[in-house]
Structures are given as structure tokens and as C-alpha cells.
Structure 1
Amino acid sequence: MSTNESHADTPPSLRERVYAELRDELLGGRIGPTERLTEPRLSKRFGVSRTPVRDALTRLVADGLLAREEWGYSVVVPSPARVRDLHEVRIAVELRGISRSIENPTLRHDAEALGEEVRHWYGLRAAPPGPSPDFVLEDERFHTALLASSGNAELVAVLAGASRWTRSVRMRGFLVPGRVEAAIDEHIEIAELVLGGSLELAHRLLHEHIGASPEIAEPT
């Protein structure tokens, strides 16, 4: 059967579902770095033929999340050097969201959107979740919202890429006791400084906040 025929026989929604679920599990760290992925096992798990599974695996290889092996597919683990490089990108991009307003006072953060984010974090402070790798998604939510409120969508897109490729590494930081609570407090403080116009102090605290990540989630 040709590739075109196999695609024609597989509904796009089915291919997308398999791809999206595997992608989210890989990026969320729910598929471990030592796990072996094979078409027969995944076909059985999803209750589908091998065609949508093969399509999904091929796309995940193109995404850089999987590598093709003789026996199937392995999970790509970012090298420590790449994690450090992406972390530097994250620092530069996030700080730029504040520094552009320092340089040009006419550029103001979206107070309504950022205020809504602060209220969300006060709710988390009232009932903080326990140590969990899943908290990385809440953390990304804050940093994305803070940068988005600065008004530069392209900076947000760059941050999304850096966050996506380092998520599985950063997740480990939120298993450290007290780290979740500390992150909640720091997020609230930084956002309120931005809302209050104390941009230089917010810039410094954000730098310190992001800079703590490699010490907490040191790649091995």
C-alpha cells in the first residue's frame, strides 16, 4: 500500500489524536527517556491500525522528540548543553518583555490580563498543590502570561519553543520540597511589581527567579 493510500484510509482526526496524545505525553514527561516505543504496542494501546501510529511516530521524529531505532523509537533527551542554551534564550526573551517598557515608558503591560493572572496565583497560594512535575504547566502559564502582557507576540512564540523543549527537564524542579510554594510567592511578587510600575525591581527579581531553574533542575 502506498503512503498516499494509507493516509486516505486513515481519518485525519484519528491520525491527529494519536499524534497529539503521544506528543503531549513526551513533552509532559509521561513517557520516560528509557521507554521503547513500537508500532505494535502503540497500535494495541490506541486500538487502531499501525497506519495512524506510524504517521504519528514519523511526525514526532521530525519534531525532534523521537529517534528511529532498529527496534522502534527512542525518546530524545536534550543534552545538558542544549538545555543551557535554551535556558539562556528563555532568560533573554522574558527579561526583554520588561526591559522594553523600561526603555520606552509608552509601552505598558496589559494590566487587566496580568491582574487576572495574579488573582489565579492568589488562589494557588490559598491552596497550594503538593510537589508535582505537573506544576511545570502552571509555571509556564505564568511566564507566558507575563510576557504576553508586554504586548510582543513574537517574544511569546520564542518562549513557547524554549519552554516546550526543556519541559521534561524543568519538571524535576517541582519535586523539590517547598519549590512550588516559593514559585507561587515569587510569581505574585513579580507580577505585582510590574502592575505597580516598579519595572526595574521586577526585572531584577524575574532574572533571579528564572536563573534559579538550572540549580533546581540540573540536567544529568
Structure 2
Amino acid sequence: MGTTTDAAPDSAPDPGAARLPRREKVYEALREELMGGRFSPWERLGEERLAEHFGVSRTPVREALARLHADGLLEKRAGGLYLYMPTFEDLTDLYELRITLELQGIRRAIDDPTVHHDAVRLTTELESWQRMSDDEPAPSAGFVTVDEGFHTALLAASGNRALSASLAQVNQRIRAVRMYDYLTADRMRATIDEHIEIAELVLGGRLPTALEALADHVGASKDVVVERAANALAMARGQVGGQR
């Protein structure tokens, strides 16, 4: 996966950003780039290059890297800091947890008739994906965060904030390898179509069918994702080993 480290972040300027300490600005900007897929799991995050990229001294970069390491987004290996890359065993465990959390959002509404999904929030999400269907984005590793947005919104719409917060943490841990799932047009198309179908089923009150569709979407693709991840992990380790 190629990266670009000399371009400014894509996000719109934050009016409050100018009031933040420099170390906080660097931390937030670097965190956004890490989570947005700008760095591959085998690209070493050197202080000097990052300082040049952000136009600051090495001190705020060093502090940002330390915080991101404490956050779990970075890990130490091969004599430096890299984007966190789960082991194959960790990935399968985390993916199982992801499936459990996501399905519970619909199951709780099936089991308890007093639980209703937030129709306004879910409709807004659906409309966003319908627009994407009409103007399909190009394959991109960074699309993983857009995909996560749908699943987090769907789970949050079920009304349990603890579930959606837990899913966000799991997504963060597996993001580095899930990026490889969005590098082909067919995967992009399938993701968009399936998201639209799931949202429409939930909004239409067809919860058992929605549960089945979500299980197919997330669960049935597990083996494919794990296989791709295993290949990516092997390639990443080979790249890192070659740098030693």
C-alpha cells in the first residue's frame, strides 16, 4: 500500500485548532493520518521525517508518538515505531468480537420490543450510502474508515452506546489489516450495496432478515478478510525484515 507523507491532511481546518498547543496539534493530525490509512503497517515512523512533514521540531513529534503508542495505535518493532499490526491469532479473536458486537445491536431490538433504532440517524447514514452508490468512490485503503462509520452508526442507532464504543475500539485494532479489503472495485461495490440493503431492512422493521443480512455481510466474509490479512501480514513482516 503506497503512502504519501508530504501532503497536508484532507480534513477541513478546525477553527479551534489554532488555540491548541503545538504538541496537541501534531498528535491529532498524526492520529488522523494513521487512522485514515496514510501509513502502511511496515512504514517506520521516524521523528525527523514527521517533523519535516508537519513543519515542527522533533519534540512535539516525539511526544505525539509516545501518546499514540500508549493509545495502542503504534507498536515498537524492528527498532522503531510502526502502525499497530495484530498477529494472525489476535486478528481472528478481534474479528469474532466485532461480529458479536454488531449482531447484538439488532438482536437486542428483536428480543426487546421496546428497543427501537434511531430512524433519523439511520436514514441519514442510508442516504449517504445511496449517494455513494450513484457516484462510487475509487478503491482505496482509506475507505476502511468510511466502512467503519456505517457499522458504528448502525450499532449506535440501536441505542446502546457501550456497544458502539466497544466496536470503535475493536475497529481501531484491526484497521491496519482491514485496509486491504478495499483495493478492488468489486469489493467497493459489494460493500456499498450490502450497507444499503441492511439499512433499508432495519428501517423497514424487518429485523430478523436484517440480522441475517448483517451476519452474511460481516461474518461470511471473515475467512476472506483473514486470508487477505494473513497475506498482508506476511508481506509486511518480509518488508520489515528486509529493513533490519
TM-score range normalised by the length of the shorter chain: 0.7 to 0.9
**Which one of 106, 113, 122 corresponds to residue 114 of structure 2?**
106
* Structure-to-structure mapping, 1:1-220, within 5 angstroms: 13-68=21-76, 72-211=80-219, 212-216=221-225, 218-220=228-230
* Alpha-carbon distance in 2 for matches of 1:64, 1:71: 17
* Alpha-carbon distance in 2 for matches of 1:66, 1:139: 22
Offset at residue 215 of structure 1 (A): 0.5
Name the SS for the 1:36 alignment partner.
Answer: coil
Deviation larger for 190-199 or 37-46: 37-46
Deviation larger for 186-195 or 18-27: 18-27
Offset at residue 72 of structure 1 (A): 4.1
* Alpha-carbon distance in 2 for matches of 1:47, 1:203: 48
Deviation larger for 11-20 or 64-73: 64-73
Match of 1:7 in 2: none
1:13 maps to a residue whose letter is P
Count of aligned positions: 210
Deviation per CA, 1:105-135: give whole Å up to 9, x if none. 1111111211121111111111111222122
Conserved 8 A contact 2:73-2:172: no
Determine which structure has more spread, i.e. the larger CA radius of gyration.
1
Deviation larger for 147-156 or 14-23: 14-23
* Alpha-carbon distance in 2 for matches of 1:156, 1:69: 31
Conserved 8 A contact 2:41-2:176: no
> Share of identical aligned residues, percent?
50
Conserved 8 A contact 1:100-1:107: yes
Deviation per CA, 1:78-97: give whole Å up to 9, x if none. 11111111111111111000
Call closer, same or farther: CA 1:110–1:52 in 2, change over 3 Å: same
TM-score by length of 1: 0.87
Conserved 8 A contact 1:65-1:76: yes
Name the SS for the 2:125 alignment partner.
Answer: helix
Call closer, same or farther: CA 1:158–1:17 in 2, change over 3 Å: same
* Alpha-carbon distance in 1 for matches of 2:78, 2:213: 48
Call closer, same or farther: CA 1:40–1:112 in 2, change over 3 Å: closer
Offset at residue 190 of structure 1 (A): 0.8
* Alpha-carbon distance in 2 for matches of 1:59, 1:83: 23
Name the SS for the 1:43 alignment partner.
Answer: helix
Call closer, same or farther: CA 1:115–1:130 in 2, change over 3 Å: same
Deviation per CA, 1:8-57: give whole Å up to 9, x if none. xxx95211121122222223332222222232332233222222111111
Deviation larger for 85-94 or 60-69: 60-69
Match of 1:4 in 2: none
Conserved 8 A contact 1:170-1:213: no
